[in-house]
Structure 1
């Protein structure tokens, strides 16, 4: 997904929590790494629930979250319903300064190489566990043979 505008080039990890009533209730969405955005709480990364609930429908699925909702949120922030009052005020008062701050956050917290490192570490750990399980299976199979 390639986003134009001040968030262009940033890469974020997203946390999605599904409520028991999903898909009739919207999922909770949060950014794991920091983002400077009027509708995202800077400390927790939570996305303003009103923003997602206004557009949510039971016909949506998680693909819609990643292909429609998140890109729309980044392209069209809503400063009139803020979780980050500072970002909202800066966006309304001085849009070029707001966009500069967004780009600074992208460079500091949302570099592709930083995000890419975490999954590689996890996948190599998973590979080690798989190898350990395979060696345990081989030992058990070897012991069972006459």
Structure 2
């Protein structure tokens, strides 16, 4: 199983947050779905707070070889963050708060963004990356400019 990682930059409620995303590719990829999780903490009903694992039907249940990692970074994960599903939670506390008190939920999301999803937080997780190929959003837009942080 290969492991790669990338960066996810967000707008909306998660605006200003930058997350390092871990992607594990099974040997049967692209016929078998990748395992995707957040490395730095995020407060979301469909993301396990401790492991960062993502609950996303298109990845976990309806994966197709026609999908690729570009879909995961540009479509699936942004859609998950923009449209959480509290009725299928991995983080029960976040789901309950979202349904019970939306303003308090939104405040907690913003607190997590400020606390765990700043560029320096992403830089700090660089030491955790595997020695396998590094995948970043910058590769998708063919830019030579780095996304965040300082060169190693």
Counterpart position of 1:140: none
Among candidates 24, 28, 49, match of residue 21 of structure 1: 28
Aligned length, in residue pairs: 123
1:57 aligns with 2:74: no
Which is helix-richer, 1 or 2? 1
- Counterpart in the other structure of 1:44: 51
- Provide the alpha-carbon RMSD of the alignment: 2.0
1:1-146 alignment, distance < 5 Å: 3-48=10-55, 50=57, 52-116=59-123, 119=126, 123-124=151-152
Uncovered stretches (5+) of structure 1, i.e. residues with no partner: 125-146
Larger radius of gyration: 1
Give, in whole Å, the separation in 2 of the partners of 1:60 and 1:51: 9
Gaps in structure 2 of 5+ consecutive residues: 1-7, 127-148
Note the C-alpha offset of 1:6: 1.4
Task: Measure how far apart 1:4 and its partner are.
Answer: 3.0
Query: How far does residue 2 in structure 1 lie from its aligned partner after superposition?
Result: 5.3
